Chains A and B, each alone.
Chain A
Amino acid sequence: MIAFWLLAILSVVSALVVILHRSPVYCALALVNTLFLIAAMFVMLDAHLVAFLQVIVYAGAIMVLFLFVIMLLSAGDEVRLEGRGGLRLAATLTVAALAFELGALVVAKRGENVALPASFGSTEALAERLFTRHVLPFEITSLLLMVAVVGAVVLARRKA
């Protein structure tokens, strides 16, 4: 329990750094940190495979891309823009609605305990489900990835 609260508080702090820090490189690094902490929470939830996949793909590949772009574009420190009044109000309302929804969900589901099979989250169990019952989403994923590759190449090489 202590572990959960520790991780949760650290994650929130790290996420706040992502949003609030001036320098984009620090924000990206704080995001990597947040992803690590979330992977640790996955481990606590017995989702070992997903935790490592999160680190390998998200923290290890996607954030590297973010850092490349930040550094190559030499994105300077953030300039605080003055948002129009309407925009700020809309943002605040949206966040409040989201927070209310999440809170309601947590309160409603509290006390529910689902019995988990012993091999929950193990590589074998996840793999077997993925490749038998969920084959179609798996194949569609490959299509998505190919589209991403081709799209990125096409966009990047367009004579602007």
Chain B
Amino acid sequence: MEDSYLAVLISAGLCALVVAIMVGASWVLGRRSPNRAKAAVFEAGNRAVGEVKTHRFPVKFYLTAILFIVFDVEVVFMYPWAVVFRRLGWFGLAEMAAFVLVLAVGLAYVWKVGALEWD
């Protein structure tokens, strides 16, 4: 088992090295001639005005993230269940069904209220 995690470490190290080199490549290889026009942010011909602040907070992104967290936790609970599923038999199925049903009620409410619209 420890061997596998050593492999993870080696793998991660190799990947990190390769990706870092790739990302840094044009900083090393490319020219460096800073220029106001080039550094300006893209706005299809206009000059960008104002700070990058969205004064109206689109709350639907926050809701999406919260829903994601909750259902991610649900999915994450289902994995250990799926592994020992056969040993737990019908009782295990009933447990998980209760778990999912409660959350499905939550999803149904969110759906009905319309929080899933217009994203």
Contacts and interface: CB of A to CB of B under 8 A. Distances in A.
Q: Do chains A and B touch in the complex (CB under 8 A)?
A: yes
Interface of A: 43, 48-49, 53, 56-57, 60-62, 64-65, 68-69, 72-74, 123-124, 126-128, 130-132, 135, 138-139, 141-143, 145-146, 148-150, 152-153, 156-157
Interface string B71-111: 01110110111011001100010011011101101110110
B51 A146 contact: no
Contacts, number: 119
A43 B110 contact: no
B109 A150 contact: yes
Main secondary structure of the interface of A (DSSP, over half): helix
B20 interface: no
Interface residues of B, number: 45
Interface stretch (B28-36, B37-45, B61-69): B61-69
Main secondary structure of the interface of B (DSSP, over half): helix
A156 B59 contact: yes
Contacts of A65: 62, 65-66, 68-69
Interface in B1-22: 1, 5
Contacts of A49: 80
A56 B72 contact: yes
A142 B115 contact: no
Interface of B: 1, 5, 51-54, 57-59, 61-63, 65-70, 72-74, 76-77, 79-81, 83-84, 87-88, 92, 95-96, 98-100, 102-103, 105-107, 109-110, 113, 115
Nearest to B88: A131
A69 B62 contact: yes
B69 A156 contact: no
A124 to B, nearest CB: 6
A127 B78 CA distance: 10
A135 to B, nearest CB: 6
Contacts of B115: 153, 156-157
B119 to A, nearest CB: 13
A149 B70 contact: yes
Contact of A131 (B58, B95, B109, B113): B95
A139 B98 CA distance: 7
